[in-house]
Amino acid sequence: MAERTLAAVFHRSGDPLTLTDFALPQALPPGGALCRVLMATICGSDLHTIAGRRQEPAPLILGHEIVGEVVALGDDLTRDGFGDPLAVGDRVTWTIAAACGRCRNCQRGYPQKCAALRKYGHNCLHDGQPLTGGYAGHVVLWPGTTVFRLPGNLPIPAVAPANCALATAVHAVEEVDPQPGESVLILGAGLFGASLAALVRERGAAAVIVADVRAERLAQARRFGATATLDLGKLDLPAATECLRSLTDGHGPQVVFEVCGQPHLASWALDTLDIGGRLLVAGMVMPGTGFAVEGNQLTRRCLTVRGIHNYAPRHLAEALRFLARQDHARLFAESVGDVFPLVRIQDAIAAADSGDYLRVGVVPGC
Ligand SMILES: [Zn+2]
Ligand SMILES: [Zn+2]
């Protein structure tokens, strides 16, 4: 077994990541694992950290969307999240965070809010095990992580972003439960929005309308299942409201997913909802995102507003099952528009930041 590995360390916004050599652990705690990274994809939240729009405890190894190969397993980690045997050499992905399973929040069904939560790609080098980010040759998995062996022959690029965008989208869909025949509006056409489009289309939504300011992202959303798009770079909101009504038989959508981080659009979408409509808020992860809610409208039109953040292990399990169904894996694999070796991490970040691709991949060894 290798004894050392290379990782890209983020120090502070504005400084390039530095390639640093780390020792691999020679022993693992019960429930832990060591994985060789096969691919990590660059998520928008990583770009926010690199640009200084979001604070993380630095220095750290970024990257939380990861597919790896099991190199070593700690005692007790014998089965994956599907209940199947887990072995050295298996291709795996894992939950974005490790949770204790015992604290109040874990017991109440919020493992993603565990009192002792640790998230991959979000953990300071000086806080215990340093190798917990994906922009590295290896990742050490904490006990309390749910690991999933990749079903079938799922392509690595399809799976890498699943433990962030697609699993969170599965959670969002579960919360508002769109029914066959309902109309759905998705605010934001990044991979989260595109994943929602694919999921609600599979559930038989009558209309899947995706709104964004980027025309090329809207074109991609159509490939993922959008039946119509609203280009908010060209349409003002009154015009968009008119379009939305004509696309929903004059009623407005029954379900809106906000995944764009724009509070004024959440307010607008609330006004467009049909009687009994549901607004799911999942994109406003920064402070300063207050938005106007007319209480009178909530009451009289019987509306629901819900928030979600991250997901539980069952959502990642369903994300992988979804990828294994029909032609979804090919679609999601195409979301990774370019792939760079780890030694070119700065070029990979620049490519991801260009916005040309839904995702950019980083692989350790080429
Ligand atoms: Zn992410
Ligand atoms: Zn807990």
3-state secondary structure of 231: strand
Cα(5) to ligand 2 centroid in Å equals 30
Superfamily of structural domain 167-307: NAD(P)-binding Rossmann-like Domain (3.40.50.720)
Element (H, E) at 87: none
Is residue 323 within 8 A of residue 162, CB to CB? The reply is yes
Q: DSSP labels for 173-225?
A: HHHH-PPTT-EEEEE--SHHHHHHHHHHHHTT-SEEEEEES-HHHHHHHHHHT
Distances (CA, A) of 111 to 67, 144, 197: 21, 10, 26
Is residue 123 within 8 A of residue 62, CB to CB? The reply is no
pLDDT at 88 over 70: yes
Query: Where do the structural domains in the chain lie, given as residue ranges?
Result: 4-149+335-363, 167-307
Cα(89) to ligand 1 centroid in Å equals 25
pLDDT category of residue 24 using cuts at 50, 70 and 90: very high
Whole-number percent of the chain with pLDDT over 70? 99
3-state secondary structure 244-301: HHHHCCCCCCCEEEECCCCHHHHHHHHHHCCCCCEEEECCCCCCCCCCCCCHHHHHHC
Rounded to an integer, the average pLDDT of 63-87 is 97
How confident is the model over 138-195, as pLDDT tens digits? 999 999 999 999 998 899 999 999 999 999 999 999 999 999 999 999 999 999 999 9
Neighbours of ion ligand 1 (CB under 5 A): 43, 45, 164
3-state secondary structure of 255: strand
Rounded to an integer, the average pLDDT of 338-356 is 96
Of 288, 280, 282, the C-alpha closest to 310 is 282
Give first-to-last CA distance, the chain, whole Å.
19
The CA-based angle 268-270-275, given to 5 degrees, is 140
Cα(105) to ligand 2 centroid in Å equals 6
Helix %, strand %, coil % for the chain, to 5? 30, 25, 45
The whole-angstrom distance between residue 285's C-alpha and the CA centroid of its chain comes to: 13
φ/ψ bin of 181: left (φ > 0), alpha (ψ from -120 to 50), beta (otherwise): left
Cα(111) to ligand 2 centroid in Å equals 6
Rounded to an integer, the average pLDDT of 53-73 is 95
Q: Which CATH class is domain 4-149+335-363?
A: alpha beta
The whole-angstrom distance between residue 352's C-alpha and the CA centroid of its chain comes to: 15
pTM, full prediction: 0.96
pLDDT of residue 182: 98
Q: Give the closest ligand to the alpha carbon of residue 122.
A: 1
Enumerate the H helices of 64-132 as residue ranges. 104-107
Cα(79) to ligand 1 centroid in Å equals 25
Cα(127) to ligand 2 centroid in Å equals 18
φ/ψ bin of 191: left (φ > 0), alpha (ψ from -120 to 50), beta (otherwise): alpha
pLDDT of residue 2: 78
